[in-house]
Structure 1
Amino acid sequence: MNAPERMAADDWRVFHATGRRQDIPPVLPDPPPWRKFRGSPAEASPPDDPEAALRRLGPGGMTPQLDDEQIEIVNSALLLRRPLLVTGPPGVGKSTLAYLMSRELGLGRVLEWNVVSRTSLRDGLYVHDAMGRAQAIAAWQAELRERATPGPAFDGGEQIVNSAPTSGDRQLAPVLGEFITLGPLGTALLPYDRPRVLLVDELDKSDIDLPNDLLHVLENGSYEVPELVRDAADTAGVHTSDPGGRTVVHNGRVECREFPVVVITSNGEREFPAAFRRRCLPMEMRPPTREQLLAMVEGHLGLRPRGTEDLVDLFVQRVQAGGTHSLDQLLNAVQMTTVGGFQADGDGRKLVELLLRDLSKGR
C-alpha cells in the first residue's frame, strides 16, 4: 500500500471542503452512545434545493478554502453530533459553510433560521396560527347553523322546506394540525435517517435568553408541541418548513433519529454563556487570502474577467486597512467589469469605490 492509499485508508474525515456533490453520499460515522436518539417513524428523505446552493456556492465548483484545522473541526462536529459555532467578521462565508456541507455530504435542502432580537425558541420550533384556527372554527359553526336552519324553497312552483343535513354531509371541524407549522429547528429535529442541515444565522443578534433556551433542545434532540399534547387526538398532520412539506406528529412530541448538522454563525458581537459554548464546537473563520478570493470569484462567475486581479488587490488592501467588507461587494464589482463598455480603471472608478465602500461607516 503506497502512501496516498495508506492516508486514504486511515483518514477518518468524511468532509473535505471540496464542495463537489458525490454520486454516492458518504456514510457518516456512528454517533457516540450519548448522542444516539430514537425518534420514529422515519421521515422520507428531504427535498433538495440546487438553486439555493447555486446562489451560495456558484456554478464553478470553486469554494471557500478551509485549512486542515478547520476541516478537522467540522468533521469532529459531524462525528460527535455537536453544533458548530462559527465566528468571524461579516462576509467571510460563515453561512456558506452550511451549504458547502450539505452539497458535499448529500444532505438535501438547508433549513435556515435567521435570528433577530425578537426571535424566541418557539419561533424556531413551531408556529401555531391560533387566530386562523379561531376564524376557521367560527366559519365552520356558522356553516353548520346555516345548513341546519329550515328555510323556504321552491321547486316547480311548490314550496318545500329544507331539512337539516345528515351526518354523511356534515362539514368536518377544522383540525388543530392544519394550523401548526414546524419551524426550521423543529423540522430539522424530525426523525430523518440522514441528518438535516440547519443554519442558525447570527445568533449573537438574539435576545439574551435564547442561547440558554436552546440548551435543552440541543442536548436532548427533542421537543414537545404543548397544543398537540393537550389535544385529544393521538396524531396530528402538521406543516413543515420545507415548501409543501407535511409530517405526522405523535402524541405532541418530536425526537430526531440523527442529530442535525447545526451551523450557528456569530459576528462576535457578544459572548455566549459557558453552558451553551460547552455544547458547541467553536470555529473561527478568517478573511480569505488573495488566492482564495480569486478562486471564489472564478467559482461564482465561471470565469476570471480582465481586471479581476486589480479589484481583488484593492479589496484585500481595504480589508487589511481595518474596514468592514463583504465578499458580495467584490463579486458585484467584478460582475460590473463583464458589462460591455464598463471600465473599472476609467469612468467606472467612482462606482467601484461605491461598491467596495467600508460598511462600518454606515453609508
Structure 2
Amino acid sequence: MSGPEAADGRDWRVFEATGAAPGGPPPSLLPAPPWRRFRGGPPQPAPPGDEHAALRRLGQVDAVPQLDPDSVDVVNAALLLRRPLLVTGAPGVGKSTLAYLVSRELGLGRVLEWNVVSRTTLRDGLYSHDALGRAQAIAAWRAGLRPREAEAVESPETEEQPPPALGDFITLGPLGTALLPYDRPRVLLVDELDKSDIDLPNDLLHVLENGSYEIPELVRDASDRARVRTSDPGGSADLRQGRVECREFPVVVITSNGEREFPAAFRRRCLPLEMRTPTRDQLLAIVDSHLRVRPPDAEVLVDLFVQRVEAGGTHSLDQLLNAVQLTTAGTFPTDASGRKLVEMLLRDLAKGR
C-alpha cells in the first residue's frame, strides 16, 4: 500500500464521517486480512434499516465531517482490519453516535445496540433461552395429546401435533445477531462497557477473535437445524448444529467513559479512538443538521459552550442542542429568567446538580 490507495487502486478510506447516506450503491469494504476471514453460512438476508433511529441520533446531516482527520483514519483502519473500535471520551461527546454515523454512511442497516450494566454477562449479548416458557409449552402439548389418544386407537390416520421446537424459545442478543453470516457487516454498539462486571471484557475475547459462538441448548438438541428469533424486530435466522459464525466481522463500536482500565489482552484486539469535543464549525453543523435551520442565537450559544469546555468543564452535546432548541421556542424570554434557564441547561456536569 502506498499513499491513500490500496494495491488495487482503490482508496482504502471508505468512511468520511459525514454521516450522509450513499446516493447510489453503498460503498464496499476492501477484502479482510487473511487472519480475519470467516466462513459462516448460509448467508442471511440484508438487515432492515432504521432511519428513524438515525434521524434521532444524527439529524439530516450535510457533507460536513464530524470527526477530525486522525479519528477518521482510525475508524477506516478498524473497518479495513475488521477489528473493534474502543471509543473513549467524556460523557455526551458523541461516542455512541459514531455507530450510527458509520451505519448510515456505509448503508449497513439497523444498528444493534447492547447497553451494558454491572449485571450484564456475555450470554446476555449472545442469546437468551426461555426455559420456563418452553416447559409450559411442552406441558400444554402433552396435555393436548391425551384427549386424542383414544381417537388414535379408533383412527390410526390421526395426525399427531409435533412438540414445540426448541428454537422458538431462543432469541439471539445484539452480539449474537451481529455475528450471523451476513454478506455485509452489521454495526454493533456495545455501550459503556466500563460499567460491566470485571470479567465481561475477558469473556468477550474468544468471540471477538473467532467471530463465532455456540448455543449449547441447540448443540445438544437432536435436530440438526433450528429457527431462532434475532434482535431485529420480527427477525429470525436458521442455525445449523447450534453454531453461529459470521461471514463478515461486524463493525463493533465499544464505548467507555474511562471508569476503569481494560485488560491488555482485550485492548490488543481493539483499535483505540479518543473522541474530543467537536470544533466550533462542527458544532454549528450538528445544530444545523438537527434543527435544519440556524437560529439567530445559535452561534452565541455555541461560543459559550466552547468556552466552558475549554475552561475544563464537563459538558455534553445534548446540553447544547437543548439550549438552542429552548431559546428558539416561541416567545422564549430574553430577560434574566431566560438566561437563568440557559445557565441551568449548560451547567458543568462535573459539579453535581
Q: How far 1:47 sits from its partner (Å)?
A: 0.7
Q: Distance in 2 between matches of 1:337 and 1:62?
A: 26
Q: Distance in 1 between matches of 2:166 and 2:237?
A: 14
Give the corresponding residue for 1:272: 262
Give the corresponding residue for 2:116: 115
Give the partner amino acid of 2:214.
E
**Partner secondary structure for residue 282 of structure 2:** helix
Give the corresponding residue for 2:194: 204
Whether 1:72 aligns to 2:62 is no
Give the corresponding residue for 1:186: 176
Distance 1:64 1:15, change over 3 A: closer
Whether 1:341 aligns to 2:331 is yes
- Of stretches 188-197 and 20-29 in structure 1, the one that deviates more from structure 2 is 20-29
Query: Are the counterparts in 1 of residues 229 and 237 from structure 2 also a CA contact under 8 Å?
Result: yes
Give the partner amino acid of 1:16.
E
Q: Distance in 2 between matches of 1:19 and 1:71?
A: 12
Give the corresponding residue for 2:21: 21
Whether 1:102 aligns to 2:103 is yes
Whether 1:312 aligns to 2:313 is no
Give the corresponding residue for 1:159: none
Whether 1:286 aligns to 2:287 is no
Q: How far 1:257 sits from its partner (Å)?
A: 0.5
Give the corresponding residue for 1:361: 351
Query: Are the counterparts in 2 of residues 40 and 191 from structure 1 also a CA contact under 8 Å?
Result: yes
- Of stretches 195-204 and 12-21 in structure 1, the one that deviates more from structure 2 is 12-21
Q: Distance in 1 between matches of 2:116 and 2:196?
A: 6
Give the partner amino acid of 2:304.
L
**Partner secondary structure for residue 214 of structure 1:** helix
Runs of 5+ in structure 2 lacking a partner? none
Give the partner amino acid of 1:116.
V
Query: Are the counterparts in 1 of residues 19 and 61 from structure 2 also a CA contact under 8 Å?
Result: no
Whether 1:295 aligns to 2:285 is yes
The partner residue of 1:327 within 314, 317, 330 is 317
Residues 249-293 of structure 1: per-residue CA shift (max 9 Å, x gap): 100000000000111111111110000000000011011122221
- Of stretches 117-126 and 347-356 in structure 1, the one that deviates more from structure 2 is 347-356
Give the partner amino acid of 2:343.
E
Give the partner amino acid of 1:230.
R
Whether 1:175 aligns to 2:156 is no
Q: Distance in 2 between matches of 1:232 and 1:63?
A: 55
Distance 1:108 1:165, change over 3 A: farther
Q: How far 1:338 sits from its partner (Å)?
A: 2.2
Q: Distance in 1 between matches of 2:157 and 2:193?
A: 52
After TM superposition, the score normalised by the length of structure 2 is: 0.93
Q: How far 1:165 sits from its partner (Å)?
A: 7.8
Q: How much identity, in percent, do the aligned residues show?
A: 74
Whether 1:37 aligns to 2:38 is yes
Query: Are the counterparts in 1 of residues 20 and 61 from structure 2 also a CA contact under 8 Å?
Result: no
Q: How far 1:123 sits from its partner (Å)?
A: 0.4
Q: How far 1:64 sits from its partner (Å)?
A: 6.0
Query: Are the counterparts in 1 of residues 38 and 247 from structure 2 also a CA contact under 8 Å?
Result: yes
Give the partner amino acid of 2:38.
F
Give the partner amino acid of 1:187.
T
Query: Are the counterparts in 1 of residues 12 and 80 from structure 2 also a CA contact under 8 Å?
Result: no
Give the corresponding residue for 2:205: 215
Residues 58-77 of structure 1: per-residue CA shift (max 9 Å, x gap): 02436662111111111111
After TM superposition, the score normalised by the length of structure 1 is: 0.90
Q: Distance in 1 between matches of 2:284 and 2:343?
A: 19
Q: How far 1:12 sits from its partner (Å)?
A: 2.0
- Of stretches 190-199 and 20-29 in structure 1, the one that deviates more from structure 2 is 20-29
Q: How far 1:314 sits from its partner (Å)?
A: 2.2
Whether 1:235 aligns to 2:225 is yes
Q: Distance in 1 between matches of 2:170 and 2:38?
A: 24
Query: Are the counterparts in 1 of residues 48 and 109 from structure 2 also a CA contact under 8 Å?
Result: yes
Aligned alpha-carbon RMSD (Å): 2.1
Give the corresponding residue for 2:236: 246
Q: How far 1:362 sits from its partner (Å)?
A: 3.4
Residues 5-47 of structure 1: per-residue CA shift (max 9 Å, x gap): 9xxx673211111211111111100011111100011111111
Q: Distance in 2 between matches of 1:138 and 1:347?
A: 65
Q: Distance in 1 between matches of 2:118 and 2:263?
A: 17
Distance 1:168 1:16, change over 3 A: farther
Give the partner amino acid of 2:102.
M
Q: How far 1:329 sits from its partner (Å)?
A: 1.2
Query: Are the counterparts in 2 of residues 125 and 182 from structure 1 also a CA contact under 8 Å?
Result: yes
Runs of 5+ in structure 1 lacking a partner? 151-161
**Partner secondary structure for residue 347 of structure 1:** helix
**Partner secondary structure for residue 275 of structure 1:** helix
Q: Distance in 2 between matches of 1:165 and 1:329?
A: 73
Give the partner amino acid of 1:278.
R
Q: Distance in 2 between matches of 1:64 and 1:354?
A: 30
Q: How far 1:301 sits from its partner (Å)?
A: 0.7
Larger radius of gyration: 1
- Of stretches 18-27 and 348-357 in structure 1, the one that deviates more from structure 2 is 348-357
Give the corresponding residue for 2:48: 47
